Amino acid sequence: MIKANDPNLESWVNVPVNSDFPIQNLPLGIFKTDHLEARVGVRIGDDILDLKTLHVLGYLDNLPFSIEAFDTKTLNVLMKKGKRASRRLRDRISDLLNKDNTELQNNAHHVEQVLSSASAAQVLMPIEIGDYTDFYSSKEHATNVGTMFRDPNNALLPNWLHIPVGYHGRSSSVIPSGQDIHRPKGQTKPSEDQGPVFGASKMIDFELEMAFVTFDGKPLGDSITTEEAEDYIFGMVLFNDWSARDIQKWEYVPLGPFLAKNFASSISSWIVSLDALQPFAVDTPNQNPEVLDYLKFEGKKSYDINLQVAITPSQSEETIVCNSNFKYMYWNMAQQLAHHTVNGCNVRGGDLLGSGTISGPTPDSYGSMLELAWKGTKPVPMADGSERKFIQDGDTVTMRGFCKNDKIRIGFGEVASKLLPSK
């Protein structure tokens, strides 16, 4: 077992019951306050541990990190040190926050300097994303979409059960939780007997996803195997891959999504390490037909992460519209990364790889409005009495995720963004 994952550990920092951020989590992010410039922090309960100040005070000596790894506006410098160094950092922070360790705990002056209230801090975009790839790895989602728009008896395209289908997206429009977006404009084709028209999209949708962030991979021309893959994964975030369904329907043939997807994608602010998620590793769903050799893997490579989506209309309370789980994904992250690099494509530290929409086996676990409202034929009721076929101006979409067993809960916080009218 990874040392910092010990379920019996307790912190001297107060951690509320059912917090997403116990001592067994310790996710990394970037924060600033009225008195502190942007820097690397670790979330613990309702507080943030300031790693720059912790380093200056000498608590991170004997680790392979200079001050530059923590005095920075992104986690990219820290990630350059790789998996082993990140694990040592998490272990050291776990030791310092352990209730049985008085090294930092008994120095009140230092505690005051290194702990900030999360409610008084601004959490920023945690990484500079070089490249962003989005997969299409939920069998239930792909089947639902294929049933709606193609032959229900042949919902999956011939390649889907053989390769983790994906496309390269736009990293410049990946934004942090809390940043609002505007309804995008583009071409749509309202009917078969009518030509295309230009205007604001009328079918804005969320896509419930998780995404993983990579360490530096291998040189161009080399491949990462499924056995090696998790050594190149820094951690995971919640991911709302916004979509304009009417724009997408008209533009996606023959090259796939473009304007329908690149206007915004929102991520949660704290990156949860893959190490912290290990207690929640589970078997991947059965894959039939048998995959090719480079996609075969051993062990538990999927993760039991409970996911939830809520819609909050303007001036109203939220309505939970989806409860799903990351464990439903047909293709796991190790397979996605192996496939991504099998042709020699290189990944770099800070690259973001989205899971694709996560839909489960029941209607309440579908990960998009397209499915929940079944292409608009089954409007979803809101708590205020209104209905939704797609997302309306003023609506805030909030996604939450957490793992839980009988001893610990490891969470991601949330990713939330409001849809504003088109400019």
Which residues are marked as active site?
141
* CB-based contact 271:412 (threshold 8 Å): no
Which element (helix H / strand E) includes 273?
Answer: strand 272-273
Burial of 105 (0-12, 13-18, 19+ CB in 10 A): middle
- Whether the CA torsion 305, 312, 265, 195 is positive or negative: it is positive
Specify which residues 175 forms β-bridges with: 266
Residue with tokens 């989602």: 141
Q: Round to whole Å and give the CA distance between 178 and 332.
A: 28
Which element (helix H / strand E) includes 339?
Answer: helix 333-341
Contacts of 241 (CB under 8 A, 6+ apart): 134, 206, 207, 209, 261, 265, 354, 357
Indicate the pairing of strand 409-420 with strand 181-182.
parallel
Q: And the tokens for 263?
A: 């206007």
Q: Round to whole Å and give the CA distance between 365 and 307.
A: 9
Contacts of 172 (CB under 8 A, 6+ apart): none
**Secondary structure class of 102 (helix, strand, coil):** coil
Number of residues written out for the chain: 423
* Residue 69, CA atoms < 13 Å, CB-side half-sphere: 18
> For residue 137, which amino acid is it?
S
Least Cα distance to 211 among 399, 368, 418 occurs for 399
